[in-house]
Amino acid sequence: MTVQQIHKFLEPDLARVESHVGAALRSDIGLLDATNRKLLERPGKMLRPMLALLVAGAAGSVTEDTVRFAAAAELLHNATLLHDDVVDGASERRGMPTVAKMLGGGPAVLIGDYWLVKCVQEILDAQKESGRVLRIFAKTLSHLTKGELLQMEKAGDGLTTQADYLRIIYGKTASLFEATAMSAAISACASDEVVEQMGCFARLIGTAFQIKDDILDYGEALLGKPVGIDLKEQKITQPLLCVLEKLAADEQVSLRRKVAGILDHPEYADEVRALVLSNDGPALAGKVMDGYIADAVSCLSVLPSSASKEALTALAGHIGTREK
């Protein structure tokens, strides 16, 4: 099953999620409403709503609460992107200027806050378990913040370890996947075991998703998407970590010093990149990613056979093969 086939399989319920998101964001403030409508013209991959709908379908059935929780996950995801673009000084996302570029950092933060509040409202409007799910999302928001701040703290010293990296990408990416799947399982009245295993599945594919992003950053530019950004921002990610493991202690120290010195010596970024590529860093990172995907699929053993379970397995596979 391809990702396009998964989209087709979920089409009616994805439309319901999009309707919830659009309705939640309507405002009588002209600037806010116009900006939100422009953002909704270029939706992202809708990966988190897809995950939510598939988990609920595999664990029981898609309910109105499933749709609300899926919409909440998409709202939170996009709120973090609005904030990230301010922090990163990004000028483009999804082929269009960022809100920060168009309106400035202040309005972008405020609009991100609006999306975040609407995420909370979607959860509170659920028929059941709103308190339980809200606590899950609150914990996720804490992880998101701490992940970003830890990445900032580690950038520049060149000392990021494998444990640091995994904590960063759990906070930045995998924690929201986890919350999305757990809330979806809860909406389907799944057992505690199934809720826990769906959270595990999502956490693992979220980790694989971020590793894949970091591998792509060492690849060739596709559709105008820039590459090599992580090194320019002094981020040590899985491809570089895999190469560091192969080096002698003194070579590791030298390489880490170069990463730490990139701001003063931008040419170091190309040198480090070349070293990672010549030592098969992306391929080695791909093997690490594949391990997370395999472990994720094993979590699905608690589910009965169904088209939704098959689609979850296919979605996990898509994480590792996507090119953007």
* pLDDT per 10-residue tile (average), the chain, 324 residues: 91 96 96 94 89 98 98 97 89 85 94 97 96 97 95 90 97 97 98 98 98 91 63 94 95 94 93 95 97 98 97 95 84
d(CA 68, CA 122): 6
> Domains in the chain: how many in total?
1
Domain range for 270: 3-321
Residue pair 28/36 in contact by the 8 Å Cβ criterion: no
Residue 119: in which H helix or E strand, if any? helix 105-124
Residue pair 273/231 in contact by the 8 Å Cβ criterion: yes
Q: Quick one: pLDDT at residue 226?
A: 64
Q: Which residues of 11-41 are buried (b: 16+ CB within 10 A; e: fewer)?
A: eebbebbbebbeebbebeeeebeebbeebee
Distance of CA 88 to the CA centre of its chain: 16
d(CA 57, CA 278): 44
Q: Quick one: pLDDT at residue 90?
A: 83
Distance of CA 82 to the CA centre of its chain: 14
d(CA 144, CA 173): 7
Q: Quick one: pLDDT at residue 223?
A: 43
Q: Quick one: pLDDT at residue 155?
A: 86
d(CA 275, CA 264): 19
Q: What is the CATH number of the domain that holds 64?
A: 1.10.600.10
Q: Is 66 helix (H, G, I), strand (E, B) or coil?
A: helix
